[in-house]
Structure 1
Amino acid sequence: MKLVSAEQINAVLDWAGVLDALWRMHLGARPQIDDYFLGDGECGLFSRGVILPGLGAGVKIVSIFPGNLQATPPLPAEQALFVVIDEHTKALVAICDGPAITAWKTAGDSALAGERLSRQDSSSLLVLGAGPVARALTEAYLHIRPGIRQVMLWNRTSSKLEPFVAELRGRGIDTTLVADLDEAVSRADIIVSATASSEPLIKGRLVRPGTHVDLVGGFRPDMQEADTELVTRARLYVDDRKAALNSGDLRIPLLTGLIGEESIEADLFEICQSGEILRGADDITLYKNAGGAHLDLTICQYVLRCLASQAS
C-alpha cells in the first residue's frame, strides 16, 4: 500500500489538471456516496464513502477537534486521510493525505461550477475564511477568471490572513484585507465563503445583480453562511442534491417553505453535461458546494496516475 504525503500531492497537481479530472468524472456514471457523522459537541468523527465505476472506491476519515487549536504548540483542528480501493482487486492500494486532497478537490469542485455560473467578465473576488481551503479557492478562481483585478479577503481574525495578503500582493495582485464585510459584499462580482459559521455572514439584500455566490464551509444543518433572502433571490445550483439539502444554507429555507427541492436547477453532473447557458447577465447565481467522497477519490486517483507516470 502506498502512503501519499501532502508534499507529493501538491508537487504533481495544478488547477488545469484537477479541473480536467473532475470534469471527465462528471461526464460519466453517477457514484454511490454516503456520509456518516458522530459527535459530542466538542469533537466529531466524519466519514464519507464512495463507489465510483471506473475509479474504484474509497473512504475518507476525518477527526475534528477545535480544542487542538489551544494546545501548545497548536495542533490541527481537523485531521484526515483518504483510503483508495482498487476497482478490480478491491485491495486497499493507497492512503492519501486528507487535508491536501480536500483543499484541491473542494476548490476544484467550486471552480468547475464557477466556470459556468460566474460571469466571464468578473473582476472582483471576495473570499471569506482563512484556512487552507479558502486559500485554495482563491487560487482556483484566479485560475478560471484571469480577468479578476481585485481580491478581497475577510476573516473574523484578520491577522490570520496577513501572510496570504502579502503573498498575493507580492505576485502583483491587488489584494485588500476587508474590515467592512457588508461593503465588500455589495461590490464583489464573485463571493466565496469557506467558514464554519452558524449565523449568516452574507446578506442577500447587499448582493448586487450579476454576482456569483459560492457557499463552501457549512456542512451541518445548523451551519449557515448566507441568509435566506439571498437563497430566495438567487438561481440555485449544487454539487450533490442530498448533501447540499442537508446543509443549513438550503435546509433552513427548505424547512420554512421558502424554497422547495425543485428550486435547485441543476447539480454538478447536470452542469457539466449541459450545453445550455445557465445564467443571465443580471442573475444572481448561488452554488452550494457540499462535497462528496467521489471528488476526493477522483483527485486521489489522478495523483496516483501522475506519480506512476513520473516513476515510469
Structure 2
Amino acid sequence: MSPASHASNASALSRLTAGGFSIGVEAPLDNDWTPAGELARRNSGRLPGEPDMQHHAALAKLVDQLGFRALWVRDVPVYDPSFGDAAQVFEVFTYLGYLAGMTHDILLGTAAVVLPIREPLLTLKAAATVQQLSGNRLLMGVASGDRPVEYPLFGRDFPGRGANFRNQVDLLRDHARTHLPEPLDLLPRPSAPLPLLVAGLSQQTPAWIGQHMDGSLAFPGTPAEHAHRVAAWRAVAGAKPYASFIHLELDARPDAPMKRWRFGFSGGRTALIQELQAMRAAGVDHIGLHVRRNQRPLDDTFHEIAEYVLPLFQNFAATDNAPGAAMRATADA
C-alpha cells in the first residue's frame, strides 16, 4: 500500500493545527549533543556536529506510530566546520521522499529550505514530488539563508537573496505556469497548493511575509518571547499558524525542575507540560522537539511523551482546526 493511501483529505496546514495545538519532533533523531554522544562521535570518526544516523529510520517510524504531528528536517547543503552542525546529513527532499515511504500519518516539514541558492524549477519539482508521494503531508518551510559562504558555491548573489526569494515564492505559488513557455509544463501537477511557512523574515517586510506566507517557523524562545512574536505575527498574518521549536533534555524523574538554556531546557515531564501549556497560552500553534541534547535513549523519551504529554494537547474535543484555536481552547479550559 502506498504512503498516499494513508493520508488525510485535509490540508497539511489544517492537520498541523487540528485541535488547536500540536507537538512534533525535529531531525536528526540522535542525542549526539551530549557527553556520551560526543564520545561516540569521536570513536566513530564522525565530524563535529555530524549525528549518528544508524537508528533514524526506526525512530522516524516510531514517532509516526506514537502520534507526533510533524517531523521537521533542516536544509544544510554544505558542511561548514565553523558552524559545527551537519543537521540530518541527507539532502532534504531526497530524505523526505525516503521518510514518506516509511511513515503513514506524520506531517513532513522542511525547516527550512534555503530558496535563493537552489535552482527554482528543480526545487518545485522536488517539493511537488514529495507532496504527492507522501499523500499531501508536506509542510514546506522556506528561508533566504544566513550562511554567506554557501552563495558563491552555487553561483548565487548573497545581497540579492531577498529578491530571489520573492521570485521563487511566486514560482512555487503558480507551479511555474507563468514561468514556462507553452506547451511546457512541470509534473507532477500539485494536488493542493504547497503550504509555505517562513523562517524569519527572509529579507522581506513583515507585511509582505504576512500576506504571502501560510505560516511562521519562529526562532526558539521562552513563552514570554513568543507572546510578543505571536502578537507581531497576528498583526500581519491573522490566524495563520505560528510554529517554533524547543531543545529538550527530558529527565527520567517526572518532577525534575526546569533548567533553562539557550533554545530550550532540561527537566521532567511536568516541566515539559507546563512549558507547552505556556506556549499554547502565548498563542503558539505547534512545537517541534529537538532532542540532540537528550541524554536518555530516544525511544524511551518518545514513549514517555506520547503516553503522558501528547494526550493533554492533541486530543481536544474541539473540532475547530483553525490556527489560533489554541488560545480559545485554553480560555475554555
The TM-score with structure 2 as length reference comes to 0.30
Greater share of strand? 1
The TM-score with structure 1 as length reference comes to 0.32
